[in-house]
Homo-oligomer: A and B are copies of this chain.
């Protein structure tokens, strides 16, 4: 199958560039997160609430991945973080060469935390290393409680799972314990946060963890 051979070649080249990005970020003391989820799980809103809380304390830069539009980059800039938008024009995930090009646009001297918001997609982004230190998968209580079992690669590839939209829990059938059990069966080391970007519940714990991460305390 030529498709597989070439896909592996492209993945190998992606790994090389991702390795270079990681080395460069480590040398500059910058830590990097890659945030992934389904469309509409709340990644951008999570970043807005997170940056509002941490912008006085951390130098945060954001790379926004979307198939189309600059709407998310505009939202993130409005809360005060330097942002570069990548539009993939049809592609379903970010690749390391896109991150390398985006990093060239950022004044890195003032940055100690780089956040990459990937394309809304629970399948493809899991396979693509972007040079990040940590991968975060966001799920929400309105998506159904079967997502870890149905998209296991994403949960195996992540170090952190955030369950968002806690405020909607009373109105949906969502078994939180089942989700956590499924996710931990796939990846026993997963760190789990439950929160609501709407009410603010759970944001303190997430932001405290993120600050520790940014300052190399974990």
Q: Please list the residues of chain A having a beta carbon within 8 angstroms of any beta carbon in chain B.
A: 2-3, 6-7, 10, 38-40, 42, 66-69, 71, 90-92, 119-124, 127, 140, 142-144, 146-147, 149-153, 165, 167-168, 171-172
Q: Known pairs A39-B151, A67-B150, A123-B124. 10 more at Cβ < 8 A?
A: A2-B6, A40-B147, A68-B149, A71-B146, A71-B149, A119-B123, A142-B165, A142-B168, A167-B171, A168-B168
* A67, B171: Cα distance in complex, Å: 28
A105 to chain B, nearest CB (A): 21
A161 to chain B, nearest CB (A): 14
Q: With A10-B3, A69-B150, A142-B142 in contact, is A123–B92 under 8 Å at CB?
A: yes
A146 to chain B, nearest CB (A): 6
* A167, B140: Cα distance in complex, Å: 17
Contacts of A168 on B, CB cut-off 8 Å?
A: 142, 168, 171-172
Contacts of A140 on B, CB cut-off 8 Å?
A: 40, 142
* A2, B10: Cα distance in complex, Å: 10
Determine which of B122, B124, B165 lies in contact with A120 in the assembled complex, contact meaning CB atoms within 8 Å: B122
Q: Are A123 and B172 in contact (CB under 8 A)?
A: no
Contacts of A146 on B, CB cut-off 8 Å?
A: 69, 71
Q: Are A143 and B40 in contact (CB under 8 A)?
A: yes
Q: Are B124 and A68 in contact (CB under 8 A)?
A: no
Contacts of A165 on B, CB cut-off 8 Å?
A: 142
Determine which of B7, B39, B91 lies in contact with A122 in the assembled complex, contact meaning CB atoms within 8 Å: B39
Contacts of A68 on B, CB cut-off 8 Å?
A: 149-152
Q: Are B6 and A39 in contact (CB under 8 A)?
A: no
Q: Are B120 and A150 in contact (CB under 8 A)?
A: yes
Nearest chain B residue, comparing its CB with the CB of A144: B40
Nearest chain B residue, comparing its CB with the CB of A71: B146
* A165, B141: Cα distance in complex, Å: 13
